[in-house]
Amino acid sequence: MTASTHPAWDGIVLGVSLATLDSPQGYAEIHDGALAWKGDLLTFVGARKDLPDAPQRLAREVIETKGWITPGLVDCHTHLVFAGDRAREFELRLQGASYEDIARAGGGILSTVAATRAADESELLRQSLPRAHALITDGVTTLEIKSGYGLDFENERKMLRVARRLDQLGIGVRTTYLAAHALPPEYAGRSDDYIDAAIEWLPRLHHDALVDAVDAFCEGIGFSPAQTRKLFEAARSLGLPVKLHADQLSDLGGAALAASFDGLSADHVEHTSLDSVRAMAAHGTVAVLLPGAFHVLRETRLPPLDAFREHGVAMAVATDCNPGTSPLQSLRQAMQLACTHFRLTPEEALRGATVHAARALGLHDRGVLRVGTRADFALWNIHHPAELCYWLGGRLAQAVYAGGHRVI
């Protein structure tokens, strides 16, 4: 490994084992390691014995400890900004109501829309901060947050503004415009008109630097492939990347549609066909697995995991943190569920929550421990990285750093 020639690194951690993930396979382990940073970048990643000088002369802060360091976790699919909860729907599903039954009866997303519209920006921030903090406490250093519970211009903007304000926690925040999440009541029976409105709002929100990507819910109870395509064409005209809630409940060819726009990711993908898998592989579109929703909805249709592996489609793992179908506030727990339900290996799950999750956000400066990448890392009280997927709950993170600053 290489080191910075600057004599004053900001910090260095010694004695830990490193899972750098800086190789195509395996954890890329380094034992009795050293990890150093200056500013927001890593300056040394390697064995302690390879340091060019005494640590005290290299860094202002020297930390000697045990455990493992991994890249900071990247939660690449959340709906974290919302008001209220939907615990009653959880009860209804346990009594036999389906996701579609609840949605068609006026529950589901629209109940959260009502609560989110009723909350002002400060209240929405107050309710969202604890959820973000819970994710950070369990190792997250980059967080994607979608809109989609406003469904009109002012409330979509409010959600995106709150999402941006969550960077006060010191982590990286990426915002995704998801106005095409559900049809608001004022547009009942006029879904084409609503898509036109959502397209009209997009340039204004993009001008205000509130949008990093554009998403949609392409599903029978959401929006059609034709409507999604129209929205994606508007996003492309603005130079914005796209991602898609695709093939969760049925196969409408959503994953292939996202790939045709060089989409960053297709998410859920339980019903994705082999043709769509091939399209994703050809365009480098990441499959984002969301085992929290799979678990809560008690789904049985698995994503085409073997086909993803065979065709080289990267698989990310995310929480899908939302009030209705995945009230999950731990990405590490999502990794555990991905191993349990989808039979990912612990290494695949960790890569899914770091390397591949960063790629699903179009970020190439994080997700691995490598000199020159962002100093985003988590120090864990574990004996082996597989423990991150083994333990059900509990706090394993000893410290979490984002951009060289300790956030936990």
SS3 letters across 188-243: CCCHHHHHHHHHHHHHHHHHCCCCCEEEEEECCCCECHHHHHHHHHHHHHCCCCEE
Strand partners, 265: 243, 286
Whats the size of the chain, residue-wise? Answer: 408
Phi, psi angles (nearest 5°) of residue 70: -120, 165
Asked if 174 and 361 touch (Cβ cutoff 8 Å), the reply is yes
Only one residue has tokens 């995991």, namely 305
C-beta separation of 350 from 2 below 8 A: no
Distances from the Cα of 276 to the Cα of 48, 73, 207, 250, angstroms:
46, 28, 33, 13
Q: Is 172 annotated as a binding residue?
A: no
List the structure tokens of 64.
């000697």
Place of tokens 């120090």: 379
**Which helix (H) or strand (E) is 73 found in, with range?**
strand 73-75
> Could you tell me the two tokens for 258?
């996202």
Specify the pairing of strand 68-71 against strand 59-64: unpaired
325 is in an annotated binding site: yes
Judge whether 79 is annotated as a binding position: yes
User: What separation, in Å, do the N-terminal and C-terminal C-alpha atoms of the chain show?
Assistant: 27
Compute and round to an integer the Cα radius of gyration of the chain: 21
Is 149 marked within a binding site? Answer: yes
Q: Quick one: tokens of 343?
A: 């039979």
Determine the Cα–Cα distance for residues 290 and 294; give it in Å rounded to an integer: 7
Alpha carbon 188 to chain centroid distance? Answer: 31
Q: Are 331 and 356 in contact (CB under 8 A)?
A: no
Give, as one character, the DSSP assignment of residue 285.
P
Binding site listing for 4-imidazolone-5-propanoate:
86, 149, 181, 248, 325
Binding site listing:
77, 79, 86, 149, 181, 245, 248, 320, 322, 324-325
Binding site listing for N-formimidoyl-L-glutamate:
149, 322, 324
Binding site listing for Fe(3+):
77, 79, 245, 320
Binding site listing for Zn(2+):
77, 79, 245, 320
